Structure 1
């Protein structure tokens, strides 16, 4: 899969099969559309193109609202799309100028003249162009003129999946990571480099790896303790940060990146550590049966089950007793075959 960080990098294709959307989470419903996209491209002898946007349109249209967080970072989304078989991923900067394109301009300048669209697949409720004025009728009206065909994913087909990115975000924010995994089809995860903490966990027998999440827009689960698995050294060739580069991700490389060598069990903590009067929100994980120093290494933490809320204990002794109970509950969870 090739990644383009702006439309000007893209070279018009002779037969592009296109779908458009934010695809945050790449959940079951998204996967249904993407598989259909790739199947149509293969059947027509064309190439599949997924046009997505960053920042999320709501961040530009409603800049005062900073509450919207994304299920996936761009790199996470790219890996999953490559594994699903998408040929081209265009990450279009969503700006005020872009949002002011009329539906006609959007179809002519972007879909036809820039991408070379010959077939487009959209959801029944897809909207585009200024004030979201464009929809299926506008595409159908232009189809014959510009030589492309339109395929709609019907309301019944999408509603049968009963999944939405909003439902997933709400589940994660509530700590219901098992429900989020059901919607996504895979565990919700966060990843980042391991940074140094104050090492209090070591003094009570529960050393933790502190994870720094670089992307401020990344969704973080609610405070509490979770059963997790941890994948080591997940850094790879999926840097989407260079606006000048066209990045190529072979599908085999994407699959390899999603198939780590070692997976460890552990329990994660998210919160401000009220027992020691902490001032910042930490994301840390106690990895079971693991003693290596991994500062600077990038790890991925997959959230499997919410165990309990964050509470303030009377001191480190009471906290330590509770952590032993938390570990026992986590091990019971894994012994039940949850890995």
Structure 2
């Protein structure tokens, strides 16, 4: 997959099969759309193009609202789209100037002149242009003028999937990993760098790798203990993940940690991907470190059962 970080870097194609969206999470609904453009491209000898945006439009249009967290960072999103076999990914820097284009200018200048769109698959409710005034009707009107075809994803098909990035964010926020993963079609994951902690886990026999997630907009699931797998380079390990404020030691910051099973290597400053597979329990405060240690022993047994399908 070729990645372009600005529309101006893209050379127009003769036969572009296009879809547009933020594609946060690249979930089951998104995958149906991508399967559609791939099949159209196969039938017509075209190339698939996804036009996406970063930052997320809501971050620019409503900068006063810092509550929006995204399921995937832009790097994670690109990796997931590449796995699905997309030919071209255009990551358009979203700005107020970009959002202020008229619908007509957007169709003419971006879709036709800059991309070379011949077929576009779009949801019935997709909006674009200044004040989100453009929509399916504008595309259908412009299609014969500019020589492209519009394929609408009807409302019933979208509702049939019953998946949205919003409902996945809600599931993750309440630590409902199983529901989120079902909607995503793959395990939700976090990528980050291993940093030094205060070694409390090591003292009680459960050393952890502490993760630093540099992208402040990345959604972190609700607090608790989780069954996880961890990808470190080309290797995969099983582990017990923790998210929370470590109330037993009156912690002040929210931590993301993972205890890797049967693992003793020094991996400080290395990057890893942590895949969340199952929710085990909510975070609670224990009266002592010994009480926490006893609970972690039980958690490990439960996590191993989940990981091994018992």
TM-score, reference length from structure 1: 0.89
Which residue of structure 2 aligns with residue 245 of structure 1? none
CA distance in 1: counterparts of 2:133 and 2:195, whole angstroms? 47
Structure 1 portions without partners, runs of 5+? 234-260
CA distance in 2: counterparts of 1:160 and 1:120, whole angstroms? 21
CA distance in 2: counterparts of 1:80 and 1:273, whole angstroms? 32
Instruction: Give per-residue Cα distances to partners, 1:259-306, cap 9 Å, x unaligned.
Output: xx4321111111111111211111000011111111122111111111
Which residue of structure 2 aligns with residue 324 of structure 1? 297
DSSP-derived class of the 2:139 partner? helix
Which residue of structure 1 aligns with residue 238 of structure 2? 265
Which residue of structure 1 aligns with residue 308 of structure 2? 335
Which residue of structure 1 aligns with residue 69 of structure 2? 69
Instruction: Please state if 1:57 is matched with 2:57.
Output: yes
CA distance in 2: counterparts of 1:88 and 1:181, whole angstroms? 26
| 1:118-267 pair list within 5 angstroms | 118-233=118-233, 261-267=234-240
Instruction: Please state if 1:277 is matched with 2:250.
Output: yes
DSSP-derived class of the 2:98 partner? helix
Structure 2 portions without partners, runs of 5+? none
CA distance in 2: counterparts of 1:334 and 1:83, whole angstroms? 24
Instruction: Please state if 1:295 is matched with 2:295.
Output: no
Instruction: Please state if 1:312 is matched with 2:285.
Output: yes
CA distance in 1: counterparts of 2:120 and 2:306, whole angstroms? 45
Residue 331 of structure 1 and its aligned partner are, at CA, apart by 1.6
Instruction: Give per-residue Cα distances to partners, 1:120-141, cap 9 Å, x unaligned.
Output: 1101111111111111110010
DSSP-derived class of the 1:52 partner? strand
Instruction: Please list every run of at least 4 consecutive aligned residues from structure 1 whose deviation after the TM superposition is greater than 2 angstroms.
Output: 334-337
Aligned CA RMSD, in angstroms, stands at 1.0
Residue 334 of structure 1 and its aligned partner are, at CA, apart by 2.3
CA distance in 1: counterparts of 2:240 and 2:265, whole angstroms? 17
DSSP-derived class of the 2:111 partner? helix
CA distance in 1: counterparts of 2:148 and 2:170, whole angstroms? 38
Instruction: Give per-residue Cα distances to partners, 1:188-225, cap 9 Å, x unaligned.
Output: 01011111111111110000001111111111001111
CA distance in 2: counterparts of 1:214 and 1:88, whole angstroms? 26
Instruction: Please state if 1:108 is matched with 2:93.
Output: no
Instruction: Give per-residue Cα distances to partners, 1:52-81, cap 9 Å, x unaligned.
Output: 001111111111111111111111111111
Which residue of structure 2 aligns with residue 242 of structure 1? none
CA distance in 1: counterparts of 2:216 and 2:175, whole angstroms? 19
DSSP-derived class of the 1:201 partner? helix
CA distance in 1: counterparts of 2:305 and 2:48, whole angstroms? 45
CA distance in 2: counterparts of 1:193 and 1:334, whole angstroms? 24
Instruction: Give per-residue Cα distances to partners, 1:35-54, cap 9 Å, x unaligned.
Output: 11111112111111100001
Residue 162 of structure 1 and its aligned partner are, at CA, apart by 1.0
CA distance in 2: counterparts of 1:283 and 1:270, whole angstroms? 5
CA distance in 1: counterparts of 2:304 and 2:82, whole angstroms? 34
CA distance in 2: counterparts of 1:131 and 1:22, whole angstroms? 17
Residue 332 of structure 1 and its aligned partner are, at CA, apart by 2.1
CA distance in 2: counterparts of 1:89 and 1:333, whole angstroms? 37
CA distance in 2: counterparts of 1:262 and 1:52, whole angstroms? 31
CA distance in 1: counterparts of 2:309 and 2:28, whole angstroms? 26
